[in-house]
Amino acid sequence: MRRTYVATEIGLEVLAEDGGEWRTERSTLQGKTVDAIVAADELGLVYAGVGHDGVYRTADAGQTWERTLEADVRSMVVDPDDPSTVYAGTEPVHLWRSRDAGRTWAELEGLQRVPEAVRERWWFPVYPHEPHVLSICVSPHDSRQIYVGLEHGGILRSDDDGATWKDVSAGIEYLDIHMVAADPKRQNLVYAATARGFYRSEDYGRDWLQYDAGFARDYMHDFIVLPGERSRLFMTTANGVPPNWLRDSRAESAIYRSDDEGLTWHQLGGGLPARMPLMVWNLVGDPLDEARLYAGAGEYVPNLPKGDPGRGELWASTDHGDTWTRLATLGGSVNKVCAAAA
């Protein structure tokens, strides 16, 4: 049995698959803007990061929740080497870590001690102009090596388990970082998605190069990296930044795939509209089947009338993105998706 947890502007939908059929198991955390959702399958735990609220933890697939951190949470990740270690990134920029499966949390205060010249770049164009940690990557090769991506502000790396941090944004022009992730095979290879393009670094982020061969979009948001002889990447994209999506064609979103570690890209079809009006905000893999992918789509809520949570869609592929099926439509814009083994 598997479940997908679909984090939306107005709560969390838990979908369960039994015998190939998906059904909605429950709606939970109702009324909350769920910005992050991650699972520690080995422990049977799921964590939800809620904006302007905190981290919630469930051990029973969302029947009951316990809030264990009060913060404006924007991103979460579970240490790939240690399921009891989990990170939460917030607005303003702070990074928190739990070593006991989300029961208690400690801030990684070293992130606040970077030089003022670096902090001066931390900013956000939307009032109140506070940047946030939108992406956290714990290296699959060495969990003492951690990257964070700031919207806006750049990429920072720690090589000492979060004690000290250095800015590693050289080569990235527009520091609106949506996602940073390390390659599962080559430790030195790191990828970043930004609001103005996709970048690769082959030296742990010291220097970045932009790669756009094959893209017919310029706004990159989320990606996943699947291991193989050469890693395969899947990227969610749009044309222009979210305020531009007020146009009739809206986001013009698309999913792209690279079969060569992000050097070249091609757009996926197979049931996906060529220009999706809704933005595909999130892509995730499946813990039981590496050919499966899930994509969560939704509106840019600030473009909607105040109080309108938008609408969302959940798409799935069972063949590495060659073909796609819409699994569900939802009453709130989808922010994140998490597939869990149970």
Q: Where does this chain bind other proteins (CB under 8 A)?
A: 116, 119-120, 123, 125, 127, 129, 171-174, 196-197, 199-200, 207, 209-213, 218, 239-241, 243-244, 246-247, 260, 263-264
Looking at beta carbons only, is 26 or 247 nearer to other proteins?
247
| Closest approach of other proteins to the CB of residue 164, in Å | 20
CA angle 267-244-174, nearest 5°?
75
100, with CB counted inside 10 A (0-12, 13-18, 19+), is: exposed
Nearer to other proteins, 144 or 230 (CB): 230
Minimum separation from the CB atom of position 169 to other proteins (A): 11
Closest CB to other proteins among residues 163, 209: 209
Nearer to other proteins, 25 or 167 (CB): 167
Nearer Cβ to other proteins (263/342):
263
Smallest distance from other proteins to CB 197, Å: 6
Of 92 and 287, nearer to other proteins (C-beta) is 92
**Cβ at position 42, least distance to other proteins in Å:** 37
12, two tokens? 């969390």
Shortest distance (Å) from residue 142 CB to other proteins = 25
Minimum distance, C-beta of residue 171 to other proteins, in the bound complex (Å): 6
Least distance from C-beta 192 to other proteins, angstroms? Answer: 12
Q: Which is nearer to other proteins, 138 or 193 (CB)?
A: 193
